[in-house]
Structure 1
Amino acid sequence: MLLSKEQYKKFFWPVAIGLVLWFCTPLRPAALSVAAWRMFAIFLATIVGCITQPLPIGAVSIIGFVVLVLTNVVDIDTAVAGFGNSSIWLIAMAFFISRGFIKTGLGRRIALNFVSLFGKKTLNLAYSIIGVDLVLAPATPSNTARAGGVVYPIIESLADAFGSKPDSDESRKKIGSFLIFAEYHGDIITSAMFLTAMAGNPLAQAFAGEANVNISWMGWFLAALIPGIISLVLIPFIIYKMYPPKIKETPNAKQWADDQLKEMGQFSKAEKIMTVIFVLALVSWMTGSLTNIGATTTAFAALALLLLTGVLNWQDVLKETGAWNTLTWFSVLVMMATQLNKLGFIPWFSKLIVNSLGNMNWFLVLLLVILIYFYSHYMFASATAHVSAMYAALLGVSIAAGVPPVLAALMLGFFGNLAGSTTHYASGPAPIYYGSKYVTQSEWWKMNFVLGLVYMVIWLGVGTLWTKVIGIW
C-alpha cells in the first residue's frame, strides 16, 4: 500500500530540521569538524522522525542509515558494524525468551496463582498483580508485552468479575480504575529495576559503555534494589489513598483465579521446562561477574535451550517481530550515537554545558540533569526514543561536571523508565491502560505529577545514598 498524504506530512519536520542543520555546516562552532556537525544533523533528523513516525521507527532508522552512508559521513563497514553490538542482541534474545512465557501459558499461570494467594483485599490484589510484573520483568524486555499481553487481560477479567466497567464513574471506580493505574506504575518500577526489563535499558548500557562506564546486569539490579522495593511498597499505597477504589474487599478474586487455574489444567511439561530455563538464565545473569559469562551469552544460551527442548520453534523466533524490529533500529541509533561521540560532538556539547554551570556542586548538577531528562519526556511518546535522543548527551554533561560516572549512568537509566509517570502517551503500556477508559486524562496527569515527585525523592534521594552504601561511588 502506498503512503498516505498524512504520512508524507509527518516527514516534514525531520527533513526540514536535517536540511537546515546540514546547510548550516559553514556556520558550525569552530571546535567541531564538518563530519561531526553533519552526523548531528542526520542523527537529530532521525530522532525527530522517530517521534513524528511517518513510518515505523525501524523504517525511519533505516532511512537515516542510508542517508548517513550515501553522504559519506560514515562508511558502510562502520555503519554495518553497529549491528554487532552485544547489548542490542541481549534485548533481542530476551524478547524470544519472553515469547516462551506467553506461548506456554506460564505467564498467565503465575498471574492467576498470585491473585489466588494474595487477592482477598483490593490493595493486596494490586500488590499481587504487580508481583506478577516483577517476576516476569527480568526476562521480558518489552514492558508493553508484559503489561499489555500478560497482566492487562487479568485486570480486565477481574474488573468485569466485580462489575467494574469503564462506562461510568460509579462503575469504573469500583475497582478497575485503581487496579489499572496501580499496575501501570508497577510496570514502570519493575522496568527500572532490571537491565533486561525494558528495551531502552540495554541502549542506555551501550551509551554508557561508549563513555567508558561499564554497567553489568547485577550492578544495575543491586543499585535499583532498595529504591525499587520502596517504590513497589509505597507507590500502590499512595495511589490507594489518592485514588481509592469503592470495593475494598475482594473475597471472590481467589475463587475466580482458582476457577481459571482449574480450566488451565495441570502444570504442563512445556511450562516446567520454561521455568527451569528462566531460573537458570536469571542465576547466570546474577552471577555473571563471578563466572565471566556475559549477559548476552546467557540470553543466547537460554534461547538455544528453548529451541532444543521444543518450547519454541524457529517459526516462533522468526515471527517475533518486536525482537527483529528492536534489533534494527537500536543498532542504527546506537551506531549514530557512537559516531557522535567519536567525532567529538558529545564531548564538545558536554563541555559547553559544564562551562555554563560554573562550580556547581555535582549533586545539584545531577538533580538538574534528572529534572531536565524527566520533564522533557512530555515531548516524547516512546521511552526508547527519549533514551536515544538525550541519554548520551546528559551523561556526558554529568560526568564532565564531576558526577560519579556510574551513578550518573544508572540514575539516567532508571529515570528513562520512571519518566513514564508523566503522560498517557509516555510509553508502550500507557496507551493500552489509558485506552481502557478506566482512568480519565485529567486524573492521569494530576496523579502522575504527584507521583513523579515521589519518584524523585525515592530514586534520586534514597537511591543515591544506597549506591554510596554499596560502593558504586
Structure 2
Amino acid sequence: MGAVRKLQYQSPPQNQDPQEKKAVKEVNFISLLITLAVGAIIWFIGAPEGLDPKAWHLFAIFVATIVGLIIKPLPMGGVAVLSIAAVILTGTLGTQEALSGFQNTTIWLIVIAFFISRGFIKTGLGNRVAYMFVKKFGKKTLGLSYALLVSDLILSPAMPSNTARGGGIIFPIIKSLSQTFGSDPEDGSERKIGSFLTKTAFQGNMITSAMFMTAMAANPLAATIAGEAGVAISWGGWALAALVPGLVSLIVIPLFIYKVYPPEVKETPAAAQIATQKLKEMGPLKKSEWSMISVFVLILGLWIFGSKINIDATTTALIGLSVLLLLSVLSWDDIKKEQGAWDTLVWFAALVMMASFLNTLGMIPWFSDLMGGAVSGMSWIMALGALALIYFYSHYFFASSTAHVSAMYAAFLAVAIAAGAPPMLTALILGFFGNLFGCLTHYGSGPAPVFFGSGYVSQNKWWSIGFAISVIHIIIWALVGGLWWKVLGLW
C-alpha cells in the first residue's frame, strides 16, 4: 500500500519531453476564446431573410477561422483542423463534404511545388543562382539589388513559399553582404547598405510572388475560388498577364527606394568578389544540381505548354517530383520533413472546402446581390477600381495574405462581376493584389517578419515607404497592366 500511495502522490516528472512542452505552449487559450466567441456571436445572430441557415452557420465558422488565422490561438493547421471538426459536429456539412477540400487538385499542385522547392535548397542551386547574379551585376549597390531580385524571379515559379525563397535564400545573402560592408543595426550603421538591400529585396519578393500562380501559397487558393465562380485561370494565363506590369514594377521599385532611402555605400566591388569566392567554394555544378535544372526546365515547359498535350499543372508537378525522387535528388525523408507543405495541405483544404460550400449554399451569391446595390449605377471600370482599392488597403487589418484572400476574394470577385466587370480580368487583378498588398506593413505577409526582424529598417520607414510603393504599384498595374491586358483581350 505504501508503494502504491507513494506512486499515487508522486509529482509530475521534471524531464518532460520537449515536444510535449512545445505542444502545450502552442495553444493560446485567450485567443482561442476570442475566436470561438466571434463564431458563436455570428451563429446566434441568425441567418438574414432569404439565406439558408446552413450557409449562415458555415459563414460563422468561416469568419471564426479567419479570426483564428489572424490572432493564432493555434498554428494555421491546428485552426483548420478545429474548423473542419466544427463543420461536422454542428451538422453544417457531412464528413465527406467537410473533407472534400483534400480532393482539390490545385491544393496538391501547391503542396507538390513545396516539395520541388526543397530541391533548390538541398542541392544549393538556389544559392548558386543568387551568387551568379551577384557576381555579374553586384559591383554597384543598385546593381546588387537587381541581381538579388532577378535571382528571386528565377526561383519563384517553382518555390511557392515566398518566405522560404526570400527568408531562406535571399535574406541570408543580404545579411552576409551587409556585414561585410560594415552595415549592422547593432552599431547604427544599417543605412550603409543593409537597409536599402533589405527593403528592396522584400518589396521585390512581393512582386515576384504576384507573377506566377506557384510563387505564393495563396495564389492557387485565389485560382480555385475563381474556378468556383466559373473563371478558369491557367498557370500560363496568370504568368502572361502578370509579365509586363510585373517586370515594370521590378525595374521601378528599386529605383524609387534608391532615391527616397539611398544607401551610403554606392559602389560594392567586394560583393562580386565575395560571390566569386562563394562560387569557388561550391565548385562546379554537382550532378544533383544538373538534375534540378533539368527538372525545373521540364516542369516550366509543361506548365506553359502542357495544356496542348492534355497535361495539367498538378500532373506536371507530380511528374517533376517523381523524377526528383527517381534521380535521388530528393528522398522520401525529405518529403516527410517538409512541414510547410503538409501544414499548407491541411489549412488550404479547410479554406477551399468552406469557400466552395459558401458559394454552393448561396452565401456568396446573396452577398453579391447585397453589395451590388453599393456599386449600382457605376461603370464596371469604376466599380472594379473602387473594389480593388478597398481590397488592397484593407490589408492593413490582416496579418496574413492567405487570411485576406480567404476572407474577401470570393465576395469581391462576385460583386465586381455582377457590376459588369470582365470575369477573367477581375479574377487576375484581385489575384495580383493578393500579393502586392503585402508591401504595406511589416506583418502582412510571411517574409515581412523575417526582413523587418533584422532591424535594418525602422517601422516608420517600413510603413511610409510601403505606402508610397503601394501607390506606385496601383499606377503601374492599372495603366501598364491595363494596356497589356487590353492587348491580351482580357477586356
Place the TM-score, normalised by the shorter chain, in its bin.
over 0.9
State the Cα distance separating 1:6 from its structure 2 match: 7.6
Look up the SS of the partner of 2:421 in the other structure.
Answer: coil
What letter matches 1:122 in structure 2? T
What SS does the corresponding residue of 2:434 show, helix, strand or coil? helix
Contact 1:115 1:254 (8 Å CA) reproduced = yes
1:423-455 residue CA offsets vs partner (Å, 9 max, x unmatched): 111111100000000000000001011110001
Deviations 1:212-271 (A, max 9, x none): 000000000010011001001001000101110011111111111111111111210000
Following TM superposition, the consecutive aligned residue runs of length 4 or more in structure 1 with deviations greater than 6 angstroms are none
- Residue 300 of structure 2 corresponds to 282
Q: In the aligned structure 2, how far is the partner of 1:292 from the partner of 1:152?
A: 39
Q: 1:267-311, CA deviations, whole angstroms, 9 ceiling, x for partnerless residues?
A: 100000000000110011111332221011000110000000000
Per the alignment, residue 64 of structure 1 pairs with 83
Question: Partners of 1:352 and 1:342 in 2: how far apart?
Answer: 17
Distance in 2 (CA, whole Å) between partners of 1:211 and 1:313 is: 39
Partner of 2:41: 20
2:442 maps to 1:421: no
What does 1:184-263 align with in structure 2 at a 5 Å threshold?
A: 184-263=202-281
Query: Please, which moves more after superposition, 91-100 or 251-260?
Result: 251-260
Structural mapping, 1:321-340, within 5 Å: 321-340=339-358
- Distance between the aligned counterparts of 2:307 and 2:336, measured in 1? 32
Correspondence for 1:137 among 133, 149, 156? 156
Instruction: Report the 3-state secondary structure (helix = DSSP H, G, I; strand = E; otherwise coil) of the residue aligned with 2:192.
Output: coil
Pairing 1:43–2:54 present: no
Aligned match of 1:54: 73
User: Unpaired segments of 5 or more residues in structure 1?
Assistant: none
Q: Aligned-pair RMSD on alpha carbons?
A: 1.1
User: Does structure 2 retain, via aligned residues, the 8 Å contact 1:98–1:140?
Assistant: yes
> Is the CA contact (8 Å cut-off) linking 2:399 and 2:444 kept in structure 1?
yes
Q: Give the C-alpha shift of residue 67 in structure 1.
A: 0.7
Distance in 2 between residues matched to 1:330 and 1:292, nearest whole Å: 26
User: Matches of 1:109 and 1:6 in 2, distance apart?
Assistant: 40
- The reply on whether 1:396 has 2:414 as its aligned counterpart is yes
In the TM superposition, residue 191 of structure 1 has moved relative to its aligned partner by 0.2
Query: Greater shift after overlay, 355-364 or 100-109?
Result: 355-364
Given that 2:231 and 2:424 are in contact with CA atoms closer than 8 Å, whether structure 1 keeps it comes out as yes
Instruction: State the one-letter code of the partner of 1:232.
Output: L
1:91 aligns with 2:146: no
Structure 2 unaligned segments of length 5 or more: list them.
1-20
Deviates more, 1:304-313 or 1:374-383: 374-383
2-side partners of 1:432 and 1:24: how far apart?
A: 40
Q: Is the 8 A contact 1:407 1:464 kept in 2?
A: no
Matched letter for residue 89 of structure 1: W
Q: Which residue of 1 aligns with 2:464?
A: 446
Superposed CA offset, 1:287-344 (max 9, x none): 1332221011000110000000000000000000100000111001110010000000
Identify which of 141, 148, 154 aligns with 2:167: 148
What is the alpha-carbon distance in structure 2 between the residues aligned to residue 133 and residue 164 of structure 1? 23
Could you say what secondary structure the match of 1:454 adopts? helix
Residue 349 of structure 1 deviates from its aligned partner by 0.3
Q: Write the distance in 2 (CA, Å) between the matches of 1:204 and 1:127.
A: 29
Deviations along 1:64-102, one digit per CA (max 9) or x if unpaired, are: 100101111110111112101011100001000100000
Using the TM superposition, give the Cα deviation of residue 460 of structure 1 relative to its aligned residue in structure 2, in angstroms: 2.3
Separation (CA, whole Å) in 1 of partners of 2:412 and 2:403: 14
Mapping of 1:95-106 within 5 angstroms?
A: 95-106=114-125
Preserved contact between residue 11 and residue 54 of structure 1 (Cα < 8 Å): yes
Q: Distance in 2 between matches of 1:85 and 1:271?
A: 31
Instruction: State the distance in 2 between where 1:279 and 1:116 align.
Output: 23
SS at match of 1:30: coil
> Over residues 153-203 of structure 1, what are the superposed CA-to-partner deviations in whole Å (9 max), with x where a residue is unaligned?
11111111111111244x111111000000001100000000000000000
Percent of aligned pairs with the same residue? Answer: 55
Matched, 1:357 2:375: yes
Q: Which residue of 1 is the match for residue 400 of structure 2? A: 382
TM-score (ref. length: structure 1)? 0.98
| 1:372 shift after superposition | 1.1
Letter in 2 for 1:9: I
8 Å CA contact 1:411–1:460 kept in 2: the answer is: no
For 1:196 and 1:67, how far apart are their aligned partners in 2? 30
**Quick one: which amino acid aligns to residue 409 of structure 1?**
A
How far did residue 413 of structure 1 move?
0.3
Q: Which amino acid aligns with 2:203?
A: H
Between the two proteins, the alignment pairs up a number of residues equal to 470
- Whole-angstrom CA distance in 2 between matches of 1:5 and 1:80: 24
1:185 and 1:5, CA in 2 relative to 1: closer, same or farther beyond 3 A?
Answer: closer
Return the letter of the residue paired with 2:124. G
- In the other structure, the counterpart of 1:268 is 286
Q: Contact between 2:27 and 2:74, CA under 8 Å: does it hold in 1?
A: no
TM-score by structure 2 length?
Answer: 0.94
